[in-house]
Amino acid sequence: MKAFAELYTALDETTKTGEKVEALTRYFAQARPADAAWAVYFLIGRKPKQVVPSKKLRAWAAEAAGVPDWLFDESYDAVGDVAETVALLLPTPDRSSDLPLSHWVEDRLLPLRDADEAAQHAAMIDAWRSMDRTQRFVWNKLISGGFRVGVSQQLVTRALARVSGVEAAIVAHRLMGDWEPTPAFYDRLRMTDARDADHSRPYPFCLAHALEGPPESLGAIEDWQAEWKWDGIRAQLIRRRGDTFLWTRGEELVTDRYPELATLGAFLPEGTVLDGEILPWLDGSPLPFAQLQRRIGRKTLGKTILAEVPVVLIAYDLIESGGKDIRAEPFESRRSGLARLVESVNLPDRLILSPTVEATSWEGLTEAREGSRDRQAEGLMLKRRGSPYHVGRKRGDWWKWKVNPFTVDAVLTAAQRGSGKRASLYTDYTFSVWDDAGKLVPIAKAYSGLTDKEIARVDAFVRRHMVEKFGPVRTVKPELVFELAFEGIQRSTRHKSGIAVRFPRILRWRDDKKPEEADTLEGIRAMLPGE
Amino acid sequence: MNASDLLQPTEHGLYCEEGDFHVDPWRPVPRAVVTHAHADHACWGCGRYLTSAEGERVLRVRMGREAVIDAVAYGEAVDVGGVRVSLHPAGHILGSSQVRLEHRGRVWVVSGDYKVEPDATCSPFEPVRCHAFVTESTFGLPIYRWPSQQAVFDEINAWWRSNREAGKASLLLAYALGKSQRLLSGLDPSIGPIYTHGAVEKLNRAYRETGIDLPPTSYAGAAEKGKSWAGSMIVAPPSAQGTPWARKFGPVSYALASGWMTIRGTRRRKAVDRGFVLSDHVDWPGLLGAIEATGAERVLVTHGYSAVVVKWLREKGLDADVILTRYEGERDDKGAEEGEADEETPPAEGEELS
Ligand SMILES: [Zn+2]
Ligand SMILES: [Zn+2]
């Protein structure tokens, strides 16, 4: 645990990727497979579900430290993170330990899940007593399900490749899909023999960066192909050895969730992997994403929902053909193979070739992009002709050029009367998201985006649910959730949230969401450039 | 404050009417008793200064050749206008004192800035019994508990060594007066040569002249052109970060040593490669221990998290109050140049201090 906590600190303290890979390599070079397996698991963002909520950590730590509630709050205000405040507040450990990470996770953390509260409490106090601050911090994050570290899967892959001598692409592939963090898994990860492929396993998704500058910065338009950026679920459909697998980008195996696509597999030639987007699709056009969410939320898929929200796979890419990994082939050749395949399958209500957006100039394409929302698309994808299908988020060949680069679901927490013709209505809103302590913190003020009818409804809500007055501002009961869009996001010291957003506006009223489902500050911080 | 208090906050600073002098005034006054030479405690242009013998040279560097400075040994009492005044080590920087005032049986002590862990560059803090204690509270939150100084020095030397291995220079940022010298005293000169920024070197001289043992240092500005800095340690004030001056060192790892480095967010915002937790101020347990050791029934809190500390002390049954000094406004006071500022300046962003 000490080594892992040190690794955490090293990764946390530098923004230089070279140094991160260095630190990861040092760690993996000395770690036992049992510990390394868990380290990989946590570092690439898989985390155990919350065992103890941070509210309880907070109460137990305050008690152990002899600190009253108000003083915990003062401390939390200075620190801004419960797990860290707890780590700092607790008395200096009375003993030191260096038990391996796997021990902490398997013998201490996981069993706590089924323990009663008294046992959890005792176990936490005991753990804290033998840990230094960094270990406590990492432990608290693991326990409360909030472990995050500023390192991409790509860097972890690179370090593992360095330590094992296995090609990074193979390591990345082995990290996909379902696996348990066991010593055997870690050994398999480092195996130089590459014929180990489990036939269900997807390829690492090639991901795009957001285009920040003008498209002209990409050079000649002739070098690029534009497609719509769809608002669905990115997925790989795999057909191997007579089996079909559907994996999402979140590496969830969802074959059963989409019977339309599961049966599509039988129409694909043996040894085929398609990259595409699962989209709700009815009568030749996409349905809003909210429709797909209706489907995602269900335990069982009845006939009605299948009829109301059928899905298709919009095919983006062909990455395995005839059992051969063709990711290194140039984009156009993969694309023409894909086009032939889609045509021969010929099931236009299941499998659709991602349409291209044609333009002869960047101005023309910019204009076409304006039409994205009308097609339920989020903008454009720009793919460089001749480029391979990269592993992960590599800069330069794939760009997403969204109409609205950033959206969050936020809770209405305050309102103010408008000016001019709307002076009698509450039309200026303050929206908040959940901070690390589970409190709502303002993230944006927005004025525009609702229809007159919606404004009237919000106005009525504000009048009935006022909580406090601060000058012209009325705080309201946190109940309504809205999807906000903004053009940019950056760190700010002037905002309580630590975040400033640019040009926020209301995209839509999320009637379907409860305030608890609004976004968290942590999630928004993750959108910060360079995080 | 009561009319009978030995010290009253005025617009010039804490004033003792009985003896007609100020303690750590922030505007020029005829007669100043000065706890230490940091800019927010020793102001330029007073008629006369009273300071500790240990701190005389350092104060001279700051106040200039013309300043009239009376020096008195720790523990030795002098009569100032009928008030018995003595100075006692505060353990903050070289020559830092607590000021003890005694008048008609009433004893007041002003802590100035202090820390309780001893270090090699100044006399260690001594608790002084008193009726009323005026204490700082820069780090008056229970999250602030300092690791042992030796552990921090070990970390710093390990960092230096690994930079040397990587062919980099180590640039350690710390306030020029006090923190820099304390860090120097903990560096292991067998690792490589140690260089300093001019602001630091000037004070090193005053420290050495006072008899403090520091490892050999050279003024970085005097080095020949084209020199390789790989493996060197350079100690400089925080204002040097990112300046053309700092760029001449080639590949460099930056570190900052400060109590504020306790908090992860602050470390990250400071954009240094390493943050070492080292403060010349008292931490939470040290603060509570020091207050208790004075036996004071009245505690006046200034300089930092004063409201928090006052609330805590009141809950413990003590007569505690916030005493307003100019330090309360320190966060907005952009006038003080960082390199010259003595105090551990609170993080540039984020936390409210009062
Ligand atoms: Zn001070
Ligand atoms: Zn000071």
In chain B, residues with a C-beta closer than 8 Å to the C-beta of A84 are 263-264
Contact of A497 with chain B, judged by CB distance below 8 Å, is answered with no
Q: Which residues contact A123 (CB under 8 A, 6 or more apart)?
A: A108, A112, A115
Same domain, B260 and B288: no
Q: Is residue B177 part of a domain?
A: yes
Ligand nearest, relative to CA of residue B93: 2
In chain B, residues with a C-beta closer than 8 Å to the C-beta of A78 are 141, 143, 263, 350-351
Cβ distance A84 to B315 less than 8 Å, yes or no, reads no
For residue B141, give the nearest of A75, A84, A493 by CB distance. Answer: A75
Same domain, B289 and B270: no
Residue B257: which of B248, B246, B270 has the closest Cα?
B270
Q: How far apart are CA B62 and CA B45, in angstroms?
A: 11
DSSP 3-state percent helix, strand, coil across chain B (nearest 5): 25, 25, 50
At B169, which CATH number? 3.40.50.10710
Question: Mean pLDDT for chain B?
Answer: 89
In chain A, residues with a C-beta closer than 8 Å to the C-beta of B314 are none
In DSSP notation, A253-315 reads B-GGG-HHHHHHGGGSPSSEEEEEEEEEEETTEEPPHHHHHHHHT-SS--HHHHHHS-EEEEE
Contact of B312 with chain A, judged by CB distance below 8 Å, is answered with yes
Same domain, B86 and B108: yes
Residue A485: which of A457, A441, A443, A425 has the closest Cα?
A443
Cβ distance B352 to A84 less than 8 Å, yes or no, reads no
At B59, which CATH number? 3.60.15.10
Contact of A149 with chain B, judged by CB distance below 8 Å, is answered with no
Q: Is residue B346 part of a domain?
A: no
Does residue B291 surpass a pLDDT of 90?
A: yes
Boundary-marking domain end, from B211, B243, B276: B276
How many structural domains are present in chain B? 2
pLDDT for the residue A528: 72
Read off the DSSP letter of residue A419. S
The position carrying tokens 């003993």 is: A95
Residue B214: which of B192, B184, B234 has the closest Cα?
B184
Q: How far is A211 from chain B (nearest CA, A)?
A: 26
Cβ distance B312 to A92 less than 8 Å, yes or no, reads no
Contact of A9 with chain B, judged by CB distance below 8 Å, is answered with no
Contact of A12 with chain B, judged by CB distance below 8 Å, is answered with yes
Contact of B66 with chain A, judged by CB distance below 8 Å, is answered with no
Cβ distance B141 to A493 less than 8 Å, yes or no, reads no
What is the ipTM, given to two decimal places? 0.90
For residue B145, give the nearest of A13, A67, A92 by CB distance. Answer: A92
**What is the whole-number distance in angstroms between the Cα of residue B159 and the centre of ligand 2?**
27
Cβ distance A92 to B267 less than 8 Å, yes or no, reads no
> B254: which strand partners?
B171
Contact of A112 with chain B, judged by CB distance below 8 Å, is answered with no
Residue A413: which of A426, A425, A430, A427 has the closest Cα?
A430
Boundary-marking domain end, from B276, B308, B334: B276
H helical segments located in B94-197: 149-165, 179-186
Ligand nearest, relative to CA of residue B94: 2
Taking the CA of residue A158 as centre, how many other CA atoms within 13 Å lie in the half-sphere pointing to its CB? Answer: 16
Rounded to the nearest 10 degrees, what angle do helices A133-143 and A117-129 cross at? 160
**What is the whole-number distance in angstroms between the Cα of residue A80 and the centre of ligand 2?**
27
For residue A80, give the nearest of B262, B265, B267 by CB distance. Answer: B265
Q: How far apart are CA B234 and CA B243, in angstroms?
A: 14
Length of chain A: 531
**What is the whole-number distance in angstroms between the Cα of residue A108 and the centre of ligand 2?**
45
Same domain, B269 and B286: no
Contact of A25 with chain B, judged by CB distance below 8 Å, is answered with no
Cβ distance A84 to B350 less than 8 Å, yes or no, reads no
Per-residue burial over A289-325, b if 16 or more Cβ lie within 10 Å, else e, is: bbbbeebeeeeeeeeeeeeebbbbbbbbbbbbbeeeb
- Interface residue of B141, B154, B287 to substitute, partner A, most A CBs within 10 Å: B141
Q: Which CATH superfamily is domain A206-402 in?
A: DNA ligase/mRNA capping enzyme (3.30.470.30)
CATH topology of domain A2-144: DNA ligase i, domain 1 (1.10.3260)
pLDDT for the residue A422: 63
Where do the CATH 2.40.50.140 domains begin and end in chain A? 406-525
Cβ distance A493 to B265 less than 8 Å, yes or no, reads no
Same domain, B159 and B35: no
Q: How far apart are CA A186 and CA A171, in angstroms?
A: 10
Same domain, B234 and B312: no
What pLDDT band is residue B331 in, cutting at 50, 70 and 90? very low
In chain A, residues with a C-beta closer than 8 Å to the C-beta of B265 are 79-81
Cβ distance A88 to B262 less than 8 Å, yes or no, reads yes
**What is the whole-number distance in angstroms between the Cα of residue B318 and the centre of ligand 2?**
26
Q: How far apart are CA A232 and CA A387, in angstroms?
A: 24
Same domain, B12 and B133: yes
Does residue B303 surpass a pLDDT of 60?
A: yes
The position carrying tokens 């000490």 is: A2
Same domain, B70 and B196: no
Boundary-marking domain end, from B219, B246, B276: B276
Q: Which residues contact A179 (CB under 8 A, 6 or more apart)?
A: A185
DSSP 3-state percent helix, strand, coil across chain A (nearest 5): 40, 25, 35
Q: How far apart are CA A137 and CA A114, in angstroms?
A: 22
Long-range contacts (CB closer than 8 Å, 24 or more residues apart) made by A126-132: A128/A61, A128/A64, A128/A90, A128/A93, A129/A93, A129/A94, A129/A95, A130/A93, A130/A95, A130/A96, A130/A97, A131/A1, A131/A93, A131/A97, A132/A2, A132/A5, A132/A93, A132/A96
What pLDDT band is residue B50 in, cutting at 50, 70 and 90? very high
Residue A315: which of A268, A266, A362, A259 has the closest Cα?
A268
pLDDT for the residue B30: 96
**What is the whole-number distance in angstroms between the Cα of residue B280 and the centre of ligand 2?**
8
Same domain, B260 and B287: no
Q: What parts of chain A have a pLDDT lower than 70? A: 194-198, 290, 297, 373, 404-405, 419-423, 487-488, 529-531
Does residue B33 surpass a pLDDT of 90?
A: yes
Residue A140's H or E segment, with its range, is helix A133-143
- The pTM of the full predicted model, rounded to 2 decimals, is 0.69
For residue A67, give the nearest of B142, B267, B351 by CB distance. Answer: B142
Q: How far is A522 from chain B (nearest CA, A)?
A: 13
pLDDT for the residue B342: 37
In chain A, residues with a C-beta closer than 8 Å to the C-beta of B313 are none
Same domain, B120 and B61: yes
Looking at per-residue confidence, does B288 or B241 come out higher? Answer: B288
**What is the whole-number distance in angstroms between the Cα of residue B121 and the centre of ligand 2?**
14
Q: How far apart are CA B160 and CA B181, in angstroms?
A: 17
pLDDT for the residue B3: 65
Q: Is residue B188 part of a domain?
A: yes
Same domain, B123 and B192: no
Which residues form the domain of B184?
149-276
Query: What residues sit around ligand 2, an ion, with C-beta below 5 angstroms?
Result: B 38, 113, 342
For residue B351, give the nearest of A12, A77, A89 by CB distance. Answer: A77
Minimum CA–CA partner of B310 in chain A: A71
Q: What is the CATH number of domain A406-525?
A: 2.40.50.140
A328 CB neighbour count, 10 Å cutoff: 11
**Residue-wise pLDDT tens digits, B146-201:** 999 999 999 999 999 999 999 999 999 999 999 999 999 999 999 999 999 999 99
Section B75-82 average pLDDT: 96
Same domain, B206 and B247: yes
Length of chain B: 354
Quick one: A222 exposed, middle or buried, by C-beta within 10 A (0-12, 13-18, 19+)?
A: exposed
Cβ distance A77 to B268 less than 8 Å, yes or no, reads no
H helical segments located in B233-280: 244-247, 264-269
Quick one: A93 exposed, middle or buried, by C-beta within 10 A (0-12, 13-18, 19+)?
A: middle
Tell me chain A's radius of gyration from C-alpha atoms. 25
Ligand nearest, relative to CA of residue B280: 2
Q: How far apart are CA B310 and CA B272, in angstroms?
A: 34
Does residue B344 surpass a pLDDT of 50?
A: no
Looking at per-residue confidence, does A204 or B73 come out higher? Answer: B73
**What is the whole-number distance in angstroms between the Cα of residue B193 and the centre of ligand 1?**
32
For residue A14, give the nearest of B273, B305, B348 by CB distance. Answer: B273
Query: Are B339 and B237 contacting, i.e. CB atoms less than 8 angstroms apart?
Result: yes
